[in-house]
Amino acid sequence: MKIKMVLLSLVMVMTAGMASAQLSDRLEGLQPLTLEYAGFEFQVPPGANVVRDSKMTVTYPNQTLFGMSLVNQVVRGSNQKRAYEMCERYARDFELKNWKVEKVTVAGSKGAKAYGEQEGAIVTILILPTNDNELTMVIMADPSNQGLTEGVISSMKR
């Protein structure tokens, strides 16, 4: 399961030296970094370490608990219903606490978003079907940095 490996690698990178300093306070006044992946453009807080291979991973060197991973895969006939069902499945598989799933429309793509708690962080899973592809974004954030998660998602455009 590709998505499970993405989340596990993100958890390992981010919890290696977890500090719960609030990233948004330290980045005030700095310009966000604009990234593009799988036909979507979005903004992340400045100072990111970005790794692109078959997926994209965004982490921060100051050990602040905020990071994300994206993977785009071919899924013929994907739709919002499938995205919703996959979000429910991932929330259970990742054993998120107090998880919720909702249908969302982001940048014109109808998909789903799951969120819940794991290891003191808020995990957000966003799945957006596009043509015969499916973009899956997994974001982990300290509760004090949850606004950054919403900022990334709300900045997405095609």
Residue 22 in contact with residue 70, Cβ under 8 Å? no
Could you state, in order of their start, the residue ranges of all structural domains in the chain? Answer: 2-154
User: Please, what CATH class does the domain formed by 2-154 belong to?
Assistant: alpha beta
Residue 73 in contact with residue 133, Cβ under 8 Å? yes
Find, among 86, 98, 90, the residue nearest to 129 by Cα.
86
Could you report the per-residue pLDDT of 14-49, keeping only the tens digit for each?
Answer: 444 444 344 445 555 678 999 999 999 999 988 889
Q: How far apart are CA 77 and CA 134, in angstroms?
A: 10
Strands (E), the chain: 33-37, 40-44, 49-52, 55-59, 66-74, 97-106, 109-118, 121-130, 133-141
**What pLDDT shows up at residue 18?**
41
**What pLDDT shows up at residue 82?**
97
Quote the DSSP letter at residue 119. T
Q: How far apart are CA 152 and CA 147, in angstroms?
A: 9
Q: How far apart are CA 123 and CA 98, in angstroms?
A: 11
Would the pTM of this model clear 0.75, i.e. be above it? Answer: yes
pLDDT band of 65, cuts 50, 70, 90? confident
**What pLDDT shows up at residue 145?**
86
Quote the DSSP letter at residue 37. E
pLDDT band of 101, cuts 50, 70, 90? very high
Residue range 50-77: mean pLDDT, rounded: 89
